[in-house]
Structure 1
């Protein structure tokens, strides 16, 4: 085991104050209170958390700072917040409420200079650029507004630009793999890892513990993010970390 420890990151998609989970970005069902779930994952040994207000960008709302404050009061691990962040003032609100990092997606595609502004103002470690992409007939393309709208950006070209502009990490979700539980998009992830010099968080496809091992070995990811397998009790974080350690993957121990 060598190199930096691989991170396990539960993701909580929040809509109207509750955690929801769907398949391929559709058919959402409730998964519980985001603050309570966040606290549980923190206690179980998650390395970080991500909270995404999944309808903020499409509805033109701001992510709720009050939920962020409640989360910050309950957990002692870093967490990232995304959704509806369009300018530095939005970042200010979320960091002041207790978030450690912010995730931008649609706003970055529409106004790439926002990446530079956030990393220059707060440091690159605060800026996580989320990329939702799908493999179309003409290759991997990036999507905006919760996967509703295709952009003309190619995944790999956009990821390189994101890194060049100063983002600290990329959170890549394969829309084809999201919620399907058949494994991560390891081929695309490995290409990203080989061509970009910032950490890659893999998202979309976790269904069993082997998938986490594969994303760290075949996909070369720095962190693996998952939702439903954690929310619905299919995989416990301590059990997952014990398994990965046995398989020779360097992870921080659960508490």
Structure 2
């Protein structure tokens, strides 16, 4: 039985932090034709959702800093944005988790398999999305509490799609996994890394277009649209990447704390091909 899948995404052993980050990138590369188009849809929806709030807060593109100095409105804008990205990563986490599970079992999930609704538990995932969004909205409004919320909720999608836990049990399941080891810290590290990349790429893209005079950005409406496109384009890749990190982080945590790798090694090949071992509920 091979130790890795065909795309060498996830070895059947606990990984270092660097290996986890590499595995997330490999998973995104292997499943980008599914995850990135979904990321485009979610990132575009997020930009449209934030548009009226940015106008209300008088946030100026491309940094979206409030020109009016109305800190409460700007803070609410940030909180809604934090909730939106959490929901986006959660929804992308469903196919990302199933792709990671397949890679761990030694095969590459096809496009049809990841898009097929049968067995994907999309209904449960969609029902949990508002709950996760609300939790992240509240924690973001509280400031530093956002760090706790983001760190603890990384395994919600994988708990639904891979562990098959019922409904709302996915949230406490995710919290338990996060506090057992380093999972929360890895998720925060991944977010920080991608936040730096997102800011650099989005602003670089925007100001690059402006400096080359490819588009007349003196018009406020055009400037706003260009900034939304720049941020949406960057988030279209960043959100799938974060979802992939959540997926491999979840499986690594199960190997470290539940002996998933040992269970797979002791399971007959025919049963391994059928799916991951069940978890205690």
| TM exceeding 0.5 | no
- With the length of structure 1 as denominator, give the TM-score of the two structures: 0.24
- With the length of structure 2 as denominator, give the TM-score of the two structures: 0.23
* Structure with the larger strand share: 1
Higher relative contact order (CA 8 A, sep 6+): 2
Question: Which structure is larger by alpha-carbon Rg, 1 or 2?
Answer: 2
